[in-house]
Amino acid sequence: MTSRIERIKQRFSEDARNDPPAILPGDIPWRYEAITPEWMTHILCRDHPEARVVRIRLDTADSGTSNRRRIFLDYNEAGRTLGLPSSVFCKATADLLNRILLSTSALMSETSFYNQIRPQLAIEAPEAYLATYDPESFASIVMLKDLGDSATFCNHRMRMTKEQVQDQLLLLATLHGHFYRSPQLDGELGHLFRYDQRFAALDRDHDFQGMCEAGFRAAANVLPPGLARREAEIWPATLRASARHGELPLTIIHGDVHLKNWYITREGRMGLGDWQVTSKGHWSRDVVYTIATSLTVEQRRAWEKDLLAHYLRAFAAAGGEAVPFDEAWLNYRQQLLTTLAWWTMTLTPAGDVPDMQPRDITLEFIQRIATAMDDLDTLDSML
């Protein structure tokens, strides 16, 4: 791990010193300002040799686990006549901390989604013009079709309807059912982390346990008192819940399905973005993570069993199998532990982990997840 991080630091230092422009098709821009019209022409005009990008303009920077920018494009007359995209949305590792954090399989996962998984699925998800990374420097870029005004991204203040959450679960069932026990999981997608392996790698490389435990304590004001008193049980139970992904039937999971990664199309359909935690794992993590973060506590209490039953029917129809409700309910309850870890970690990033989410969002999701754990006796479900 240390040699990888030192290599990333060395390559980043070289990039900063030399400031190489991205010109040729195989170049990976080390920062957004290194992108040239010539490079964009190779990407966006490859099927139209008469077209050319003549100017690019960078929108406002936005950073979290990755560095995000919208890029506006001007073309020559041929490009304008063809109606080539006037803007694209990009995710990259333009900062050193982002390269280090996402080197723990996230770049491989997201590029695998857009290059290998997305083309197989009839779901509402972004489409990529380019998804690539350098396994030595971990410079990367994912260039997506800009949803622009055609979609509205969700946030923690939105009050979701039951029908919208059913649509979220239908998308997940399509993903999970298509790859359920698929030979691809050991074949062309064999390189993907299994979720418990990703979990262990985060702990090995970034002190995941330390951040989660610090975040749990920092969130004391939003935790149910009964759960807060059992702090010593949380991490051991979380490790057991993560290990279940090495014991249960596998599929492809998104892995980070919190409400902010969902969007609503102009037609009212639910779409899902940010696929950098794509893993092999058990479907229950995506399902409980979606329900627990999309709904208020009151909504979840009223609807979650109906929603889980809805998912199970859709999952079986999409290529999965008929799962008994009691078995699914147990897995659902247990995966709240791995869901909580994703957000207690976020509350107190440290070391080589950049700030990932605003504090108010993090605390809202921790409260929703922790209350669900208390309601459903999640810790006792692991005994």
For 152-179, give the DSSP string: EE--TT----HHHHHHHHHHHHHHHHHH
Secondary structure (3-state) at 129: strand
Regarding the domain delimited by 148-381, which CATH topology (the fold level of the hierarchy) does it fall under? Aminoglycoside 3'-phosphotransferase; Chain: A, domain 2 (3.90.1200)
Residues of the chain with CATH 3.90.1200: 148-381
Distances (CA, A) of 278 to 176, 213, 251, 300: 12, 24, 10, 25
Handedness of CA 263, 127, 131, 60 (dihedral sign): negative
pLDDT in single tens digits along all 383 residues of the chain: 568 889 999 999 999 999 999 999 999 999 999 999 999 999 999 999 999 999 999 999 888 778 999 999 999 999 999 999 999 999 999 999 889 888 876 678 999 999 999 999 999 999 999 999 999 999 999 999 999 888 999 999 999 999 999 999 999 999 999 999 999 999 999 999 999 999 898 888 888 999 999 999 999 999 999 999 999 999 999 999 999 999 999 999 999 999 999 999 999 999 999 999 999 999 999 999 999 999 999 999 999 999 999 999 999 999 999 999 999 999 999 999 999 999 999 988 665 555 568 899 999 999 999 999 999 999 999 98
Using CA atoms, how far apart are residues 106 and 185, in angstroms rounded to an integer?
A: 17
- 341 with 238: CB under 8 angstroms? yes
What is the model's pLDDT at position 351? 56
DSSP class of residue 382 equals T
Strands 270-272 and 262-265: antiparallel
Beta strands in the chain (DSSP E): 53-58, 62-63, 67-75, 87-92, 128-133, 140-145, 151-153, 251-253, 262-265, 270-272, 279-281
Q: How far apart are the first and last CA of the chain?
A: 34
Tell me the pTM: 0.93
Sheet holding 270-272, edge to edge: 151-153, 262-265, 270-272
Give the E-state strand segments of 269-312 in sequence order: 270-272, 279-281
CA distance 122 to 100: 33
At 62 the pLDDT is 87
Q: How far apart are CA 349 and CA 214, in angstroms?
A: 9
